Amino acid sequence: MNDGVINEVKPGVFCVHLAKALYEREAVFAAAYKFREDFFIRIEPVEETHVGIWFEVKRGQAINEMRDGLGEFCNEVLDQQVRMDLDKRFGHLREAIYEQAFRPINGRG
Amino acid sequence: MLHEDVQLLPFTYRVMPQGFLVVNQAGEYLWLSRSDFDRLLSGNRERMGELYYRFKGKHLVVDDDDEELAVEMLATKLRTRKGYLKAFTSLHMIVATLRCNFRCDYCHASSSDRDRADTDMSWDTAKHVVNLIFESPSPAIKIEFQGGEPLLNWDLVEETIRYAEVVNRFAGRNLEFVICTNLTMVTPEMLTFCKKHRVSLSTSLDGPGQLHDLHRKRRDGGSGYETFRKKLDLTREYLGQDGCSALLTVTRDHLNRLPEVVDHYAELGFNGVFLRSLNPYGYAAANLNDLGYSPGEFLVAYKTALDYIIDMNFRGTPFVEYYAALMLQRILTPFATGFVDLQSPSGAGISGVIYDYNGDVYPADEARMLARTGDRKFCMGNVLDNSYEELFHGRLVQDLVHKSCVEVMPGCATCAYQIYCGADPVRYYAESGDVTGSRPDSGFCQKNKGIIDHIFELLLRNDNRLNNLFWAWITSRNLKDMEL
């Protein structure tokens, strides 16, 4: 399963390489957060352009299950990045809505 | 390349087998296919085609000229939804005593023996509690007596109610009283008092006799069910059919028998049931191996029971599942639905509070239960030693509020169900040692997400009869009236 993105480092330990140009740090962290129940996870930059996410099984999953899990992780990073991109498009309006919703009503007619 | 000429408004989404569920900032939702979701994300009016009007109607997009108005409208809707925050603490629970004539396997309160009068609340403490309660700015005050079995300290309950009524002559609040009791010790004299002072009762019912008695055990060894039945009839003689509500605790033994429980509730004349899962506190935590189950097991049982209840309604017996009704109200209406255990920020302290028999104050009953097992992390102070400001505006309550806003919590911030859901920091702490908790693996998150998923699946059927039933639940009306 060494395809340049998901690499088996040693038995039971895999590393996922993601391009920093495509994925932001927050998206990687948010995705990894959802997987920490099943894996021990370590995140480190591997070179100037990529970040490495190491996964070690917690409870003796089969390699096939791990592969599925890491595939799910890649999808999750993508999903988180989409949500972040969306937030850049409307996050300022969300803040404005909350600010307005919780503003004291005195003096607003 | 198409350019973005339409401004997207804030939304969250959930990818489900049936498509994309998109939820706007005010909780209004829209189902979209993948291609329609792509059209939404494009931000391009031409690519959206006719969908543009649906998107606009659901406050998912806005033209530049209308942006200010859209923000104003969404803010008003959000403000309405969060209306439960305006009043501050309205539910005030008083532990009249820890003594109880029962010792239930799942008791959250870890009750004490009947002769432990040292665990009764004193009159001096009760007076301090009532004075403090009326310092709350809330226009509605509900005082709920808990235990132990509060009827074992009846004199205090009676005096406290009388005193609260006197104080309320000046305070002018919408005052309500509830006594949570196993009913077995209730007497005609007590019921006469309850009727006169408009006190309602809330009891526990775990199903038919054998199932009810299975984990609800009398300290003297007899069956509690027979007495319960007699006293329920007696209570209704005085307070009417709806003068006493009942609460179910689902243990492992209930999982495959919920339809039987539902039938029993209906047979005894209750209008509905709240399918409430076990909470990991008190004796329940100690007996978790025997009583507990996984969130997945609960969800299977919940869905089976909900389907059974729906079918029962279609067969002509009006009956409500209250948790589904609460969720439906949140999903289908714009109104605020206060439910202390599921709101953002959490209702702990700011919507509900509990006063222990010795005057200690906790933001939630579960926090008191943790204290009983030696962990006093959530003790806000004591009514005899601390002022209202120290108790309710102290660091503990502020910390709970800050750390229980699902809008910014990890795993919740991007969840499509955020506006329908809430946080339970005390439970998170009990489960994981951290008030922020962890998702999506927490039982709390799995259970709520699973139930909301199921409700959306039911709504997606777009079945007229089912929709009528849901609206009947939301509006407390009869299904037949909805079908006219």
Q: Where are the domains of chain A?
A: 6-101
Q: What's the sign of the alpha-carbon dihedral B215, B220, B225, B229?
A: negative
Give the distance from CA B414 to its chain's centroid: 23
Nearest residue on chain B to A32, alpha-carbon basis: B411
Nearest to B410 among A33, A86, A99 (CB): A33
Residue B112 has pLDDT above 70, yes or no: yes
User: Which residues have C-beta within 8 Å of that of residue B184, sequence separation ≥ 6?
Assistant: B101, B102, B218, B224, B227, B228, B231
Axis crossing angle, helix B295-314 with helix B258-267, rounded to the nearest 10 = 40
ipTM value for the complex: 0.85
Q: Using an 8 Å Cβ cutoff, are B13 and B38 in contact?
A: no
Nearest residue on chain A to B81, alpha-carbon basis: A101
CATH architecture of the domain formed by A6-101: 2-Layer Sandwich (3.30)
Q: Is A82 exposed, middle or buried (0-12, 13-18, 19+ CB in 10 A)?
A: middle
Nearest to B411 among A34, A83, A96 (CB): A34
Higher-confidence residue of B103 and B259: namely B259
| Mean pLDDT value of segment B302-312 | 98
| Mean pLDDT value of segment B15-41 | 96
And the tokens for A107? Answer: 């003096």
Residue B171 has pLDDT above 70, yes or no: yes
Q: Where are the domains of chain B?
A: 7-81, 87-390
pLDDT for A2 equals: 53
Indicate yes or no: CB of A90 within 8 angstroms of CB of B72.
no
pLDDT > 90 fraction of chain B, expressed in percent and rounded: 81
Residue A1 has pLDDT above 60, yes or no: no
| Mean pLDDT value of segment B176-184 | 97
In eight-state DSSP terms, residue B151 is: G
Residue B147 has pLDDT above 90, yes or no: no
Nearest to A89 among B8, B414, B440 (CB): B8
Residue B313 has pLDDT above 70, yes or no: yes
pLDDT for B480 equals: 86
Tell me the C-alpha distance between B469 and B319, whole Å.
10
A62 in B contact zone (CB under 8 Å): no
Indicate yes or no: CB of B67 within 8 angstroms of CB of A93.
yes
Tell me the C-alpha distance between B325 and B398, whole Å.
31
Which residue spans within B89-226 are E strands per DSSP? 91-95, 140-146, 174-180, 199-204
And the tokens for B318? Answer: 């009006």
Higher-confidence residue of B179 and A106: namely B179
Higher-confidence residue of B430 and B466: namely B466
Query: pLDDT for B247-305, tens place per residue?
Result: 999 999 999 999 999 999 999 999 999 999 987 776 677 777 889 999 999 999 999 99
Distance from CA of A105 to the nearest CA of B (A): 11
Mean pLDDT of chain B, nearest integer: 94
User: Which residues have C-beta within 8 Å of that of residue A37, sequence separation ≥ 6?
Assistant: A58, B438, B441
Give the pLDDT band (50/70/90) at residue B333: very high
SS3 state of residue A6? strand
Q: According to CATH, what is the number of the domain B87-390? A: 3.20.20.70
Q: Are strands B7-8 and A50-57 parallel, antiparallel or unpaired?
A: unpaired
Query: pLDDT for A4-55, tens place per residue?
Result: 678 888 888 999 999 999 999 999 999 999 898 889 999 999 988 999 999 9
Confidence (pTM):
0.92
Mutation site for B-interface testing, chosen from A36, A88, A93 by largest number of B Cβ within 10 Å: A93
Query: pLDDT for B338-381, tens place per residue?
Result: 788 899 999 999 999 999 999 999 999 889 988 988 999 999 99
Q: Using an 8 Å Cβ cutoff, are B100 and B114 in contact?
A: yes
Q: Using an 8 Å Cβ cutoff, are B340 and B400 in contact?
A: no
pLDDT for A106 equals: 65
Q: Among the listed ranges A6-10, A75-79, B95-99, B459-463, which one has the minimum average pLDDT value?
A: A6-10
CA distances from B137 to B89, B127, B304, B337, B351 (A): 8, 18, 43, 19, 11
